[in-house]
């Protein structure tokens, strides 16, 4: 078509390729994708009627034509078309190009993805097997083991009005209805973690303890043999726990849980308990209690508990900076308690002493008491959760406190999107020792370079008289030089870096030509057994775009599915690819469809049928983000 205004009608094939006029919204923001205003400035006008080329359709088109001609001196020239086909004719000739009302509920799909990610999984087994690998062989409900699971609201069997009812009238203890181990349940205690939950009092915990002892007595009185079965859903102990308890409350609660997980048969307890710790989303409000329990039961430091949960148990979690202060205080108190018990162990006979629940013996401590104030480091556990990823690593990597105390560490790991693919920010990439602890061997920097020489490297480089590389051991002296440096790790060949330059998050720069090479690079890293971190500055736009693109390619899924997967696995961080990058992803989806079709036009139509267009996707993402941005 020429640049002059056109009136008339075209064939179906010509018309459906044209853009449609979209309603305009008053605001344009690259991070709040509403592309209709932009589309409207680039589009010709197509008028159509369900009855084909009617007189009314031509009348409307004529009015558009006259309006455009009136302002033709100051505006771009647009074409005006009338579609001369009926819907029935389009369904016959161009069915694969027809767009109907979308039935994708983005909010529900996001909720489903999140629940799948945070469904209940085992995070602690007492007594733990010697080897972590053997935990995979432990049945989810093993009577001889005390077990703790971390999950979300969908994993809770039942929530009665009265959480602790010792009478148990009318309850058949042999009936595990609604709480069957065969269904992945079988819990004795369910602990709800939430912001304004009532604080656990000593009397309430003693009542819960008596409740479980009554279950055991009734099981024995019924003539049952073997371990007590899982209780009926109505007989489960339901306990609340606040998001940020004071230190004494946390200590009291941990000792209570320890008694349930390591019961003393002489005091009326039977088998170890099965405990579910849960919150509404499965990670935000329950992470503090889960990490504290791992530190207490496994005699671990806080960094080791992080790695135990993230690496060994493969459980994603999120901790805010305010939560870290409480966790450090808890770490220090647990370390002091362990140190205090060391001399007394020589005079203690049998394990019964460790299993007793004595609230009066809890050492009173203020919430403000922290590990730094004690003047001594916590006692390290005898076993590291994860070995080093390379025999050539500097010795500081063995000290997890180094990366944990790094000012660049904000309390949370980068988000694990796939078993080998992480999404994070610039600080995550710069904390090289944390990357080693997670087993990350490759880094993709999207528009933000993390290869910054440390001060010692700059000084050594100035004074050097040869081209010899500075040894990585140079970072072992001085407080600031104890921090890991991606620059040094990349130079020494321990971490490979793909540095993508010239991509700003301004809504102008594009990632279209880089997506394919980046995905190929990540694929090669995966085939070599490596793990990859993709990052930009914040980890919500440019790096999120790359991660979505790779997820689409690797899993062979649509853009909508990949977007929601990455969005849910980013946990409490809201991904927001700008409109230009979202448009790149739409084009990437078409390119992948063409590759999978391999020249088969029928298969290409099938592949393209599941695609959504850019305006629709941008609008749905905007609506999905609004509920979080206005909270």
Nearest to 186, CA basis, from 175, 198, 195:
175
Task: State the Cα–Cα distance between residues 506 and 366, nearest whole angstrom.
Answer: 48
Burial of residue 265, with CB atoms counted within 10 A of its CB: 0-12 exposed, 13-18 middle, 19 or more buried: exposed
- The closest alpha carbon to 317, from 482, 121, 475, belongs to 121
- CA 279 vs CA 119, 152, 345, 593: distances in Å: 11, 5, 37, 39
How far is residue 424's CA from residue 277's CA, in Å, rounded to a whole number? 27
DSSP assignment, residue 20? -
Interhelix angle 614-629/579-597, nearest 10 degrees: 130
The DSSP symbol for 475 reads G
Active site residue 536: yes
Compute the C-alpha angle 378/384/387, nearest 5°: 145
Angstrom distance (rounded) from CA 531 to CA 414: 12
Contact 189, 208 (CB under 8 A): yes
**Structure tokens belonging to residue 113:** 């993805």
Sequence-distant (≥ 6) Cβ neighbours of residue 514 within 8 angstroms: 500, 503, 546
Separation between Cα atoms, residue 586 and residue 625, nearest integer Å: 19
Q: Could you tell me which residues come within 8 angstroms of residue 480 by beta carbon, excluding any fewer than 6 positions away? A: 454, 455
List CB contacts of 320: < 8 A, sequence separation 6 or more.
411, 412, 572
Cα dihedral 566, 570, 574, 578, rounded to 10, equals -40
Radius of gyration of the chain (CA): 30
Q: What is the 3-state secondary structure (H, E, C) of 205-263?
A: HHHHHHHHHHHHHHHHHCCCCCCCCCCCHHHCEEEEEECCCCHHHHHHHHHHHHHHHCC
Q: How many of the other CB atoms lie within 10 Å of CB of 352?
A: 12
DSSP string, 483-512: S--HHHHHHTTSSEEEEE-S--SSSS---H
Of the residues 24, 504, 536, 586, only one is catalytic, namely 536
Q: Going by C-beta distance under 8 Å and a sequence separation of 6 or more, which residues neighbour residue 615?
A: 22, 35, 36, 39
Helices (H), 282-425: 287-298, 302-307, 321-341, 352-355, 371-374, 400-404
Cα 321 from chain centre: 17
Known catalytic residues?
536
């Amino acid at each position: 078509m020429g640049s002059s205004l056109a009136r008339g009608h075209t064939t179906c094939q010509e018309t459906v390729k044209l853009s449609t006029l979209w309603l305009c919204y008053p605001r344009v923001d690259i991070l709040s994708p509403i592309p209709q205003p932009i589309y409207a400035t680039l589009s010709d006008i197509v008028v159509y009627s369900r009855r084909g080329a009617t007189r009314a359709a031509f009348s409307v088109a004529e009015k558009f034509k006259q309006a455009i001609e009136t302002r033709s001196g100051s505006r771009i020239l647009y074409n005006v078309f009338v579609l001369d086909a009926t819907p029935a004719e389009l369904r016959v000739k161009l069915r694969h190009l027809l767009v109907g009302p979308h039935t994708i509920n983005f909010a529900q799909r996001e909720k489903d993805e999140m629940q799948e990610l945070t469904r209940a999984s085992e995070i602690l087994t007492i007594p733990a097997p010697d080897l972590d690998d053997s935990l995979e062989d432990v049945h989810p409900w093993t009577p001889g083991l005390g077990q703790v699971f971390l999950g979300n609201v969908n994993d809770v069997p039942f929530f009665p009005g009265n959480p602790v009812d010792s009478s148990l009238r009318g309850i058949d203890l042999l009936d595990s209805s609604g709480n069957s181990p065969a269904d992945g349940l079988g819990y004795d205690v369910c602990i709800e973690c939430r912001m304004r939950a009532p604080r656990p009092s000593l009397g309430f915990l003693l009542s819960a303890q008596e409740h479980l002892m009554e279950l055991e007595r009734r099981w024995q009185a019924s003539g049952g043999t073997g371990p007590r079965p899982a209780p009926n859903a109505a007989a489960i102990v339901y306990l609340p726990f606040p998001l940020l308890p004071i230190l004494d409350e946390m200590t009291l609660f941990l000792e209570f849980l320890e008694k349930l997980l390591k019961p003393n048969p002489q005091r009326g307890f039977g088998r170890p308990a099965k405990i579910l710790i849960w919150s509404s989303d499965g990670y935000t409000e329950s992470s503090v209690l889960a990490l504290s329990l791992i530190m207490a039961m496994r005699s671990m430091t806080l960094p080791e508990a992080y790695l135990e949960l993230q690496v060994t148990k493969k459980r994603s979690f999120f901790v805010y900076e305010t939560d870290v202060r409480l966790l450090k205080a808890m770490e220090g108190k647990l370390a002091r308690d362990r140190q205090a018990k060391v001399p007394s162990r020589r005079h203690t006979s049998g394990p019964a002493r460790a299993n007793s629940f004595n609230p009066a013996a809890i050492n009173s401590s203020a919430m403000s008491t922290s590990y730094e104030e004690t003047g001594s480091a916590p006692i390290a556990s005898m076993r590291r959760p994860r070995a080093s990823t390379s025999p050539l690593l500097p010795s500081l990597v063995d000290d997890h406190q180094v990366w944990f105390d790094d000012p660049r560490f904000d309390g949370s790991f980068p988000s694990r999107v796939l078993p080998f693919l992480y999404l994070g920010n610039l600080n995550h990439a710069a904390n090289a020792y944390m990357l080693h602890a997670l087993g990350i061997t490759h880094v993709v920097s999207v528009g933000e370079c993390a290869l910054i020489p440390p001060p010692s490297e700059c000084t050594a480089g100035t004074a050097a008289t040869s081209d010899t590389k500075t040894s990585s051991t140079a970072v072992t002296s001085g407080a600031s030089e104890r921090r890991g440096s991606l620059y040094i790790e990349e130079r020494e060949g321990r971490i490979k870096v793909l540095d993508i330059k010239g991509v700003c998050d301004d809504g102008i720069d594009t990632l279209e030509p880089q997506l394919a090479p980046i995905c190929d690079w990540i694929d090669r890293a995966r085939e070599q057994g490596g793990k990859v971190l993709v990052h930009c500055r914040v980890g919500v736009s440019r790096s999120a775009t790359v991660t979505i693109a790779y997820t689409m390619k690797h899993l062979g899924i649509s853009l909508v599915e990949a977007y929601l997967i990455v969005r849910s696995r980013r946990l409490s961080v809201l991904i927001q690819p700008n409109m230009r990058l979202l448009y790149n992803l739409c084009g990437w989806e078409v390119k992948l469809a063409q590759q999978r079709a391999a020249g088969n036009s029928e298969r290409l139509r099938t592949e393209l049928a599941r695609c959504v267009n850019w305006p629709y996707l941008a609008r749905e993402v905007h609506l999905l983000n609004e509920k979080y941005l206005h909270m």
